[in-house]
Structure 1
């Protein structure tokens, strides 16, 4: 039998330390049966259940401390959890002005993870469906009092639990996956004109992250954000993926050079697909060399 391995992880930041018993009662009230298991040796107790339809096993663990700024080797907080992820989630949260304040008040974490058999093949579409089911589990727990917010460490997203519900409902109506729950969009200024607009978290879904480099005065930034989601969605089908070294057409029929890279410009370090706009404005000094392109 192959060994079960932890895959994607979601979390709820809480204002007190919850018990597994109260979480079990909450989930079973929502018709999601689960059992409490005692680990061998010094391992922590966990709550174990199975996602419907049929889905993989989910495991819930209580972390009796705040989310760490630095993740040490051996800390099992999900395979896509990086150091300072919560700080970045708050910094790049454009819709929740109190995100950092609320995050600073949490005392513990409810960690909700999926497990698969190590040799089990799974497509990006299947992972996305299971992540959505895992978000539903998190939403059920999130209705308990003293939950500070929903946190996706791999996507560096921290939002109120009610926003989690709103995004899931809107996704169902629109028929479009709730990528906003799993992968953040981050806008940073490289100088007074050039920006980098990027995704963080697509790797959880088996998709590449993207970096868009463009002159902000030549493009609508809202349209670029929409295209970042479109390009991500496009990569769910391998035959529609962007080709390294090609030219992609973006919003307003703008042209972008496509470059695959393993050195994301901003933390965390990860593989990315770079989309560099064919803009007339000179790029910031040193940036073409950093991106290994021949551009004035």
Structure 2
């Protein structure tokens, strides 16, 4: 029998340590059948995604989310050390995210598992599976004492009610709920130039995006919306931006498209750089760092 490996992982940070039995009752009340299984590392809940999809394995961790991920910890294939800290740092809407994260006592880990060596799936198929796992997490999250929803691979930490709001808004708008799986991170390179980036597209088999632009010439809200649009576009390979070309962005601005394997900010990952063709001088040293010929 082939070994089953974790291919995606979401988490709920909790104010107390839950039992598998109460999580099982909650899920079965929501029509998601699951059974408690004994494994070498302890008991887990196991269920199956709809339409004969992959298995979902739910584990209770009786400790806080670790700052450093050790090799033997199976917290998801896209989980990196410092993920929760960065999720709180780049949280634009939840002002006390760091406080809530600091106070949590346990973790409910919701993982999707598939046979080792299973065929790679298209980004659209992976996204559909991630959405299904998020819905399982939402069902658990209605229990009292769930502090928040955490996507370690996308470094997103939001109040549990936001999980439901994003899923509902996505259904109404017909736009995938990328806000649940990939963070948007804004950093200032000097008093004018910014880097606006996605963090988490790797979970979908895609590169993340880095946008470099002069904040005096571009609306940051528009750039954020376009980051999601570019990600959506890349869900289908035939629509992907080509390396070395120029693309149009918000306000009909032109952006140079450059593929790179050295993201400017942690964590290390492959990215697509979109560099605005602005007249303003770039920060000293940045053109050389990005390997472009620009003043």
TM range (shorter): over 0.9
Q: After TM superposition, give the deviation of residue 75 of structure 1 in Å.
A: 1.1
Alignment of 1:61-72 (within 5 A): 61-72=59-70
Partner of 2:12: 12
Correspondences of 1:83-98 after superposition (within 5 Å):
83-98=81-96
Q: Which residue of 1 aligns with 2:225?
A: 226
Superposed, 1:164-175 pairs within 5 Å as 164-175=163-174
How many corresponding residue pairs?
A: 294
Matches within 5 A, 1:275-290: 275-290=274-289
CA distance in structure 2 between the aligned counterparts of 1:197 and 1:131, rounded to whole angstroms: 24
| CA contact 1:24–1:35 (8 Å) conserved in 2 | yes
| Secondary structure at 1:38 match in 2 | strand
Cα displacement string for residues 126-153 of structure 1 (whole angstroms, at most 9, x for unaligned residues):
1111111101000000011111000000
> Which consecutive residues of structure 1, in runs of 5 or more, have no partner in the other structure?
none
Pairs within 5 Å for 1:41-190: 43-117=41-115, 118-190=117-189
CA distance in 2 between partners of 1:133 and 1:19 (Å):
23
Question: 1:29 — aligned with what?
Answer: 29
CA distance in structure 1 between the partners assigned to 2:167 and 2:290 by the alignment: 36
- Partner of 1:2, secondary structure, is coil
Q: In the TM superposition, what whole-angstrom CA distance separates every residue of 1:94-144 from its partner, at most 9, and x where no partner exists? A: 111111111111011000010122223311111111111101000000011
How well do the aligned residues superpose, as a CA RMSD in angstroms? Answer: 0.9
Q: CA deviation at 1:3?
A: 2.6
- Matched residue, 2:195: 196
Unpaired stretches in structure 2, ≥5 consecutive residues: none
Cα distance in 2 for residues equivalent to 1:142 and 1:176: 23
If the length of structure 2 is used for normalisation, what is the TM-score?
0.98
**Preserved CA contact (<8 Å) 1:2 1:119:** no
CA shift, 1:34, in A, is: 0.4
Question: What corresponds to 1:262 in structure 2?
Answer: 261
Q: Report the Cα distance in structure 1 between the residues aligned to 2:226 and 2:177, rounded to whole angstroms.
A: 15
1:279 CA displacement: 0.4
Can you list the C-alpha shifts for 1:155-213, whole angstroms capped at 9, x where unaligned? 11111111000000000111110000000000000000000000000111112100000
User: TM-score with structure 1 length normalisation?
Assistant: 0.98
Partner SS state of residue 93, structure 1: coil
